[in-house]
Amino acid sequence: MLKKTLSIFLLQAELIERGYRNKKPINLAISEFRTSTFFTQYNLASKNKVILCMPRLLIAASGTGGHIYPALALADSLSNTWEIDWLGVPNRLEIDLVPKKYNLIKIKVGGLQGNILRKIFELFKLIFASFQISKLLRQKRIDVIFTTGGYISAPSILGAKITGIPVLLHESNAIPGKVTRLLGRFCDHVALGIPSTSDYLPRCKTSVTGTPVRSEFLLKQPLPSWAPSGQGVLIVVMGGSQGAKKMNEMVRNILPWLLHKGCRVVHLTGKNDCFYRNPGKVTTHPNLVVREFSDEISGLLQNADLAISRAGAGAICELMVTKTPSILIPFPQSTDHHQEFNAAYMAKFGGALIVNQHSPEKHILKKIISHLLSSNSLTNMKSNMKNNNFKNPENNILKIMNSFS
């Protein structure tokens, strides 16, 4: 389709140029290009000059890092060839994460949760938001919508159906979210990060593309200068963008033992854990660094010997790309227990072990780590991770977008 569109464009551009050379302007219908994903319109800005506008993409991604980071990775890979707008929700994580170049548009919408009156109220908000988005799509002359789930996905999909704009929905988790299950059938395509997810979407057109990751994960990164250096095993503990208080407690309980064993530990607690904000409770040690968050996760994971993590889709994807052995502690209250299924997907490759969340007084996590440190298991786990990789998920997604006519 791209070759065909390019041929049409070059032919008509040549006709325009000939017309100006012969002082006979030629009128060509702009609407002929509106059917193309690649070239949405052109204008004659001046004599002998044809301005070709890039195709327009609306990314609808909101809420958690698991929804936003894959969309950011795709946006960054397309930013030179597509004009991109971003649709989000006020007071969510995208306010801090989405670069200004993507023109963040905020619409108030929430989930259908709470009592019956609350659900009815949110339903009306969703319907209103759908028509708002439909109007926005026409105003912006959007060619394709890419969405990754979350509150903003439902009205975006409905708004696209009202307007007749193609939608590509990406599902990163092993168990599809509520929006994917309910509205995936109304999307032109559903891209999957994990192959088994297709079993839950029999009425959807699906393809396994993998999940996009930020470009820094694909390049060799050094260990951040602030991380503890040395010869000991480097353990990175991370709970995701929302943090993980219970998991943090499990790790804090064995920190003295880990440091005594010579391990180096980077503990990313998340913003919701206030334990370390009390100076009297902070364990000071040259091999321990505690931070709420880091934007150098790629360097940490590439150089880590072991990660202890929740099993959200974003974390799973980053661990797969960096080939980092891991202990996964699924969040027990995750919707439809999707983190348990994500963890199971990782474990079947032999690159991860699953430890259920438990009270800090129990020594299950300690026993697992002790076994890993006293054997060749970490080396074997890293080797096993090489069998688990999707190449070029951004290109796979772009091919689907290009197939829309």
The domain segmentation of the chain, as residue ranges, is 14-52, 56-211+391-403, 217-387
Across-strand partners of 263?
Answer: none
pLDDT single digits (tens) 177-203: 889 999 999 999 999 999 999 999 999
Judge whether 210 and 393 are in contact, CB under 8 Å.
yes
Quick check: helix, strand or coil at residue 206?
strand
Judge whether 101 and 277 are in contact, CB under 8 Å.
no
> What are the angstrom distances between the C-alpha of 325 and each of 144, 264, 348?
37, 15, 13
Q: What local confidence, expressed as pLDDT, does residue 98 receive?
A: 85
Q: What local confidence, expressed as pLDDT, does residue 7 receive?
A: 44
Judge whether 332 and 395 are in contact, CB under 8 Å.
no
| Rounded Cα distance, 176 and 178, in Å | 7
Q: What local confidence, expressed as pLDDT, does residue 274 receive?
A: 63
Q: Where are the beta strands (DSSP E) in 172-212?
A: 189-192, 206-208
Cβ neighbours of residue 354 under 8 Å, at least 6 residues apart? 327, 328, 329, 330, 340, 343, 344, 347
State which of 20-29, 271-280, 352-361 shows the largest mean pLDDT: 352-361
Closest CA to 232 of 255, 262, 194, 192: 262
Cβ neighbours of residue 168 under 8 Å, at least 6 residues apart? 144, 145, 146, 147, 187, 188, 189, 190, 191, 397, 400, 401, 404
CA angle 192, 184, 67 (to 5 degrees): 55
pTM of the model: 0.80
Assigned CATH topology for domain 217-387 = Rossmann fold (3.40.50)
Q: What local confidence, expressed as pLDDT, does residue 280 receive?
A: 56
Q: What local confidence, expressed as pLDDT, does residue 137 receive?
A: 95
Q: What integer best gives the mean pLDDT of the chain?
A: 82
Q: Per mean pLDDT, which range of 73-87, 105-119, 254-268, 356-370 is the poorest?
A: 105-119
Judge whether 143 and 165 are in contact, CB under 8 Å.
yes
Cβ neighbours of residue 25 under 8 Å, at least 6 residues apart? 19, 44
Determine the longest span between alpha carbons in the chain, in angstroms. Answer: 87
| Rounded Cα distance, 397 and 264, in Å | 38
pLDDT single digits (tens) 1-55: 444 444 444 444 444 444 433 443 433 333 333 334 444 444 444 444 444 578 9
Please state the rounded mean pLDDT for residues 169-174. Answer: 95
Residue corresponding to tokens 């219908």:
29
pLDDT single digits (tens) 80-136: 999 999 998 887 777 778 888 898 998 887 666 666 776 677 778 888 889 999 999
Q: What local confidence, expressed as pLDDT, does residue 91 receive?
A: 76
Domain 56-211+391-403 and domain 217-387, same fold? Reply is: yes
| Rounded Cα distance, 147 and 153, in Å | 6
Token pair belonging to 113: 């949760």
Judge whether 252 and 278 are in contact, CB under 8 Å.
no
What CATH class has 56-211+391-403? alpha beta
> What are the angstrom distances between the C-alpha of 19 and each of 47, 52, 283, 382?
10, 18, 77, 64
Cβ neighbours of residue 82 under 8 Å, at least 6 residues apart? 54, 55, 56, 57
